[in-house]
Amino acid sequence: MPTLVTEESLSQITNLKLIFGASGVKGKKLTTLSSEITVSDFIQSVIKTKPAENDSPFSVLDLRVVIDLMNKWAIKLPTVKPFYAVKCNPNISLVGTLASLGSNFDCASRVEIESVLSLGVSPDRIIYANPCKSELHIKYAASVGVNLTTFDSVGEVEKIKKWHPKCKLLLRIKTEEGIGARASLSVKYGAHHNEVPELLKAADVAGLRVTGVSFHIGSGGADAKAYHGAILSAKEVFETAARLGMPKMKILDIGGGFTSDSKFDEAALNVNDAIKTHFGNDEDLVVIGEPGRYFSETAFTLATKIIGKRVRGELREYWINDGIYGTLNNVLFDSAILTCSPLRFGSKPENVTCKDPKTYPSTVFGPTCDAIDTVLKEYLLPELEVNDWLVFPNMGAYTTSSGTNFNGFCSTAKDIYLACSSFVGQE
């Protein structure tokens, strides 16, 4: 597997050669931003140059953020190989950039596998991390050489034996999830402790190699202390397999759910400590993780246009051209807490950011007719008008990947502009 780009090697890259040449980026317009130009400045320039008939929402992907996060991962979790969870955001430029930086990939379907392979990624850099797969998708994985997958039932063993007997397996186990996770995954996946021996024996009898264990403590900021119990549980599965006379396990998959804020530092400390405590100096151990939101969330910024306004006393109500059924579905499905900043285009011709001292409690609606399509409530904003814009940061995780065309509105941001903020010391 490729070596991760480190800060030392990154400093030797000239004129962003690495990402300019990445599959999914090469041939596309990539705007490099000087230290004096912010992503907000870039968004304003995009709005000013958009044709009048094209007022759809759009996003900006800042590849500099992705590079910085890969460096941070390599420093904080040097022994953990990242397998980016494509479901979080399958944007081809993001995936291609991550591939060029050394990331591997967690795919959950044939379409995701096809997308990653289309970038020239070797199939041995993909884990088919879906414990319950259709037979057709298993046959496809076999045909393209994706030879590592997860399972948590005897039924899955039987399907894999029939359609992909060369595939190596990771047993997905159910562990105690961390408090504070945005989304729980244990309800749907994971073998109970008392089911482990039976599942290991079933795979062994079927002639399938169980090469490791996977788990997930919950998505999005779960209490990092949960890694200690989860990694201990994984170690016990390793020991159970050894007692059953099975080949030595080598892979520990610690799942995803990482955020890129200070909680990542805490997670890394707990992961490193738990691995050292429970696996010691096992030189054969390969540890992998499945970060999704860690790489994608803060790399994307969404720009939406105000298409309607209503005033009721002090309350201001605005309608924008994206919403809960579009890019902003993360409010419902990912428990995202949104922030936004306004840009004036309709209310002031000089196009400046809003710095008025007076603000009003404001409600922001999406474009559909469903009352659920409410993006913000009691949010303080200055007086705005139709054709002004609202800009939402941190809009890369479970956003465009989950959008719909409900009510006939194709409201999900379709245009993704590529930018790269300046590197430290770069002109």
Q: Which of 88, 107, 340, 369 is catalytic?
A: 369
308, 55 Cβ separation under 8 angstroms: no
The radius of gyration of the chain's CA atoms, rounded to the nearest angstrom, is 23
Say how far apart CA 200 and CA 214 lie, in whole Å: 14
For the residues of 349-393, what is the DSSP string, one character each?
TT--B---S--EEEEEE-SSS-TT-EEEEEEEE----TT-EEEES
Say how far apart CA 407 and CA 176 lie, in whole Å: 40
Three-state DSSP state, 106? strand
Is there a catalytic annotation at residue 369?
yes
Expressed in angstroms, the distance from the first to the final Cα of the chain is 33
Phi, psi angles (nearest 5°) of residue 251: -115, 130
Which DSSP symbol is given to 11? T
Region class of 284: left (phi > 0), else alpha (psi between -120 and 50), else beta: alpha
Quickly count: other Cβ atoms within 10 Å of residue 27's Cβ: 8
Phi, psi angles (nearest 5°) of residue 342: -90, 150
C-alpha angle 313-318-324 in degrees, rounded to nearest 5 = 135
Say how far apart CA 331 and CA 402 lie, in whole Å: 11
Q: Annotated active-site positions, please?
A: 369
